[in-house]
Structure 1
Amino acid sequence: MMMMNMMIVSFVMFILGNMIFVSKHKHLLVVLLSLEFIVLSIFFLMLIYFIMVDYDMYMLMVFLVFSVCEGALGLSILISMIRTHGNDYFQSFNLL
């Protein structure tokens, strides 16, 4: 019963993160935070699933390594955008 409650909370986290990601925001930092929130919810879902099937937790460590690399890449893009454009507004630069 407790695992089902944790799964429901993780699914709600995933849906909320996706809703924030697809809604229009003017700052890149909000989009990056929503992506990290989605990754965290996927991590919780994988943790619950691996506990339920009694699987080895090594895959979770690999997932965390890739999620840290994704976060570092997003922050480096954010920093380079702030250095070139002066802010992280999506309206201040042209994507073409």
Structure 2
Amino acid sequence: MLLEYIILFSFLSGVVVFCSTRKHLLLSLLSLEFLVLCVFLLLFLVMYNYGYELYLLLLFLVFTVCEGALGLSILVSLVRGHGNDYLSSMSMLTW
């Protein structure tokens, strides 16, 4: 029971960090990966406690890896195009 509360607190702190990160794209991506890790741990605990099969977790990890690769490719494209990863240096019109 205590482990669920710790993971839930970690998730909420990750949401606060994601909402307060407005300067760098890399910090936003790292906080998103932390949120995905917290969701993965909560999903694992729930499925393990109720005796479900863990195939859904493998599918979740596949989509997580795809999301991470897509985020890194956007980061590389932004750094090559603008020279930095500041979110304030780009506009929605330049995408």
TM norm. shorter chain > 0.5? yes
Kindly report which structure 2 residues correspond to 1:1-96, keeping only aligned pairs within 5 A, or say none.
Answer: 4-96=1-93
How big is the shift at 1:9?
1.2
Could you list the runs of 5+ residues in structure 1 that have no partner in the other structure?
none
Distance 1:29 1:17 in 2: 14
- Runs of 4 or more, structure 1, over 2 Å off, are none
Alpha carbons 2:21, 2:27 under 8 Å: kept: no
TM-score, with length taken from structure 2:
0.94
Identity of aligned residues (%): 49
How many residue pairs were aligned? 93
Distance 1:63 1:24 in 2: 25
TM-score, with length taken from structure 1:
0.93
Could you list the runs of 5+ residues in structure 2 that have no partner in the other structure?
none
Alpha carbons 2:47, 2:54 under 8 Å: kept: yes
Across the aligned residues of Structure 1 and Structure 2, the Cα RMSD in angstroms comes to 0.8
Q: Per-residue CA shift, 1:49-70, capped at 9, x if unaligned?
A: 0011000010000000000100
- Secondary structure of the residue aligned to 2:92 is coil
